Amino acid sequence: MKNMHKFLTGSLVLGSALLLTACGGNEPKEAEKDADGNIIMTVGQQTQPNSKLPEGDSYGDNAYRRLVKEKLGVDIQSAFEANGDDFTRQVSLAIASGDLPDLMVVSRDEMEELADNDLIADLTDVYDEYASDGIKEIYKSFDNVQIDSAKIDDRIMALPGTANDFGPNLVWIRQDWLDNLGIKLDEDGNHAITLDELKSTAQTFKEKDAGGSGKTQGLAFANWLTGDSHGGSAYTATAIFNALGSYPKNYLVGDDGKLEYGSNTEETKESLAYVKQLFDDKILDDQFGTRTYDDINAMMINGELGIVPGPWHLPDWALVQARTSNPEATFTPFAIESSDGKVNGVSKPGVGGYVVVSKDFAHPELVVKMINLLFDDVANSKDMEKEYPEIYEYAQKAVDGSVRPVNIEMFKNLSEISDAVEASEAAEGETSIDDISSFTVKNNSNKIKAYLDDPTGSDPTDWAVYASRLLAVDHVMDGVRQAGIYNEITPFVTFETIKASERNGAQIGKLEEETFIKYVTGEESLDNFDKYVDTWDSQGGQAILEEMQKLADDQK
């Protein structure tokens, strides 16, 4: 284990007595048991405001915890429950005090901090011995990127969730508005539209007041303008930038192996000029830069926006709100193609949090067994209704996955595409739904079919699954790949702590956001773009690039 070189981030300061206590190397305490003899496992539970838990259930007592108790003899109890920033604060307090729950989900920096201070268990041996073949196959499908990111000094110090950013970015367009106005898009059937089509559609929606509210906007973007990932693309102009060959907020590898920051390229300058023209032409919301994310979400729900950028799963948590508010609202997703007919997008593996186990917990193997149970046995059940009836009921009610003891996801690389294709083909009658082995895929297929059988009378969540899995993933995400028009950009990715970014990342991130707003609104001339890049370099960006370049060179 590394020598202790840091203990706290932020402003908390601890005395030496606590440091000695935290790093004393004590053996795990004897396992505490409840009245029924079950081993008690405490958890720092991350919650969500809209869990959709059935009446009588809670984060502290739900189907997942009952299942773990039944199958593994483990009584899961909450050490704390919190959402969002409150959860982050609770984790920070636990780290600061050295008084950890038996398990919790943390960031990589927090995992490293805990490991450096000898507060969490080394899971290498229990992972090798107890992790199921299915769990190991999940990590293997990503070339073990995630599990390797959980290693410190070549020892596995956490079990990471998997995430996959596989592009391209999409724009969701109100199909009912297109139909009402007689607008035809994607006439070549490649599931992509041009920037000219996007612009003219937005202009027509606004000029014709397609929403009928008197407030219809052409386009509206969040004030950070772009995201670094497909999952973070909601309400941004990322798809437009990608179509123009710009990949903001990503670190790109040149032919010579040298890194450059994607927000600082000539293609980004060209993209900013394009968005500025949208603003000047009053197609882009004239309140860009001051509208909040929640403002734009409300505009979408209220029928003031007919073009909504976002990832393939946007219907599941955002567009479904518009559908619920107005049952006539339907959205069709499109990629945006470049001038050469290609669809550009960024693809990279990610991590959805790290499950760490307190060094004081006597049975870390039970955490691995719990991961097997929840993300292999349950996830791959061939008859969930019979084997796991309570979990089956949750699936029917779309209960949020955060109610599991660990709020992570675990799935194979690109499995969203193969799963969506399988569900869609069965729903459309090309194959049999009964032949689908995965419960999740079968459940999605049934929801898609429910919508196809009754588009007007089906539940809004049926439409959401139809839109996300069939329209977005099957038609667009897979479609552009099958058509051979997807240009996949792979940026440099590291899970190592970038010290220069810790020092200056927030500062230069704010510089980028504020400067780009000024460029779009005309408060500052794009002629100053090179000056902005020089400022970005001098305020810490160059140091970040140099540190990342060393990591990139070490990986060769």
Point out the domain boundary residue: 290, 322, 340: 340
Q: Are strands 74-82 and 39-46 parallel, antiparallel or unpaired?
A: parallel
Question: Has residue 139 been placed in a domain?
Answer: yes
Which 3-state string (H, E, C) describes 461-487?
HHHHHHHHHHHHHHHHHHHHHHCCCEE
Report the C-alpha gap between 233 and 142 in whole angstroms: 22
Q: Which of 340, 359, 374 is the last residue of a domain?
A: 340
The three-state secondary structure class of 403 is helix
Q: Is residue 132 part of a domain?
A: yes
pLDDT grade, residue 214 (50/70/90)? Answer: very high
* Residue 81: closest CA among 107, 58, 112, 64: 58
In terms of domains, do 236 and 102 share one? no
Nearest to 18 by CA among 88, 80, 89, 99: 99
* Pair 392, 516 in one domain: no
pLDDT, tens digit (0-9, with 9 covering 90-100), for 34-92: 999 999 999 999 998 778 899 999 999 999 999 999 999 999 999 999 988 899 999 99
**340, 359, 383: which is the final residue of a domain?**
340
Sign of the CA dihedral running 436, 442, 444, 445: positive
Query: What total number of domains does the chain contain?
Result: 3
Instruction: Tell whether 285 and 376 lie within a shared domain.
Output: no
State the average pLDDT for the chain.
92
The answer to whether 75 touches 39, Cβ cutoff 8 Å, is yes
Q: Is residue 218 part of a domain?
A: yes
pLDDT, position 317? 87
pLDDT score, position 23: 41
Neighbours of 398 (CB within 10 A): 15
**Tokens of residue 245, six digits:** 């060959």
* Cα–Cα distance, 464 to 454 (Å, whole number): 14
Highest mean pLDDT among 342-351, 487-496, 515-524: 515-524
CB 39 within 8 A of CB 73: yes
Q: Which residues contact 423 (CB under 8 A, 6 or more apart)?
A: 436, 441, 442, 444, 445, 448, 469, 470
pLDDT at 25 over 50: no
In sequence order, the β-bridge partners of residue 78 are: 43
Q: Are 403 and 53 in contact (CB under 8 A)?
A: yes
The C-alpha atoms of residue 378 and residue 70 are separated, in whole angstroms, by 14
Per-residue pLDDT at 268 exceeds 80: yes
DSSP for residue 415: H
Peptide bond into 315 cis (omega under 30): no
Taking alpha carbons only, the member of 242, 193, 225, 146 closest to residue 493 is 146
- Give pLDDT tens digits for 388-409: 999 999 988 888 889 999 999 9
CA separation for the pair 391, 217 (Å, rounded): 42
Q: Is 43 inside a domain boundary? A: yes
Q: How do residues 187-212 score in pLDDT, each as one tens digit?
A: 999 999 999 999 999 999 999 999 99
pLDDT of residue 396: 83
- Separation CA 467–CA 459 (nearest Å): 13
**Comparison of pLDDT for 397 and 355, the residue scoring more:** 355
Mean pLDDT calculated for residue range 362-367:
98
Q: What does the alpha-carbon distance between residue 67 and residue 251 come to, in Å, rounded to a whole number? A: 43
Query: How many angstroms separate the CA atoms of 415 and 394, rounded?
Result: 22
Residue 12, pLDDT > 70, answer: no
Which residue, chain included where needed, has tokens 């970038």? 498
What pLDDT sits at residue 247? 97
Q: Is residue 17 scored above 70 in pLDDT?
A: no
pLDDT of 22 higher than 70: no
Q: Are residues 23 and 136 in the same domain?
A: yes
Asked whether residue 157 falls in the same domain as residue 203, the answer is no
Retrieve residue 49's tokens.
């405001």
Range of the domain at 38: 16-165+350-403
329 and 189 in a common domain: yes
Same domain, 177 and 220: yes
Which residue, among 250, 246, 249, 240, has the nearest Cα to 268 in the 3D structure?
A: 246
Which CATH number belongs to the domain containing residue 332 in this structure? 3.40.190.10
Which of 30, 32, 48, 50 minimizes the C-alpha distance to 40?
32
pLDDT attached to residue 250: 96
Tens-place pLDDT, residues 132-166: 999 999 999 999 999 999 999 999 999 999 988 88
Tell me, yes or no, whether 524 and 506 share the same domain. yes
Render pLDDT for 84-127 as a digit per residue (tens, 0 to 9). 889 999 999 999 999 999 999 999 989 999 999 999 999 999 99
**Coil, strand or helix: which one is 261?**
strand
Domain annotation covers residue 10 = no
User: Band of the pLDDT at 26, cuts 50, 70, 90?
Assistant: low
For residues 434 and 449, what is the distance between their CA atoms, to the nearest angstrom?
13
Per-residue pLDDT band at 27 (split at 50, 70, 90) = low
**Does 475 map to a domain?**
no
Calpha distance 329→18 (Å, rounded): 58
Is the residue at 465 inside a domain?
no
State residue 463's pLDDT score: 96
Q: Among 10-14, 30-34, 515-519, where is mean pLDDT lowest?
A: 10-14
* Whether the predicted pLDDT of 282 surpasses 50: yes
**What SS3 class is residue 490?**
coil
| pTM for this entry | 0.81
Distance of CA 347 to the CA centre of its chain: 13
> Is-contact 236 533, C-beta < 8 A?
no
Rg (CA), the chain: 25
Clarify whether residues 362 and 509 are in a common domain: no
CA distance 549 to 251: 10
46 and 95 part of one domain = yes
Report which of 489, 512, 491, 508 is spatially closest to residue 268, judged by C-alpha positions: 512
Question: Are both 369 and 386 inside the same structural domain?
Answer: yes
Q: What percent of the chain has pLDDT over 90?
A: 84
The whole-angstrom separation of Cα 411 and Cα 166 is: 13
Q: Do residues 179 and 138 both lie within one domain?
A: no
Confirm whether 486 is domain-assigned. Answer: no
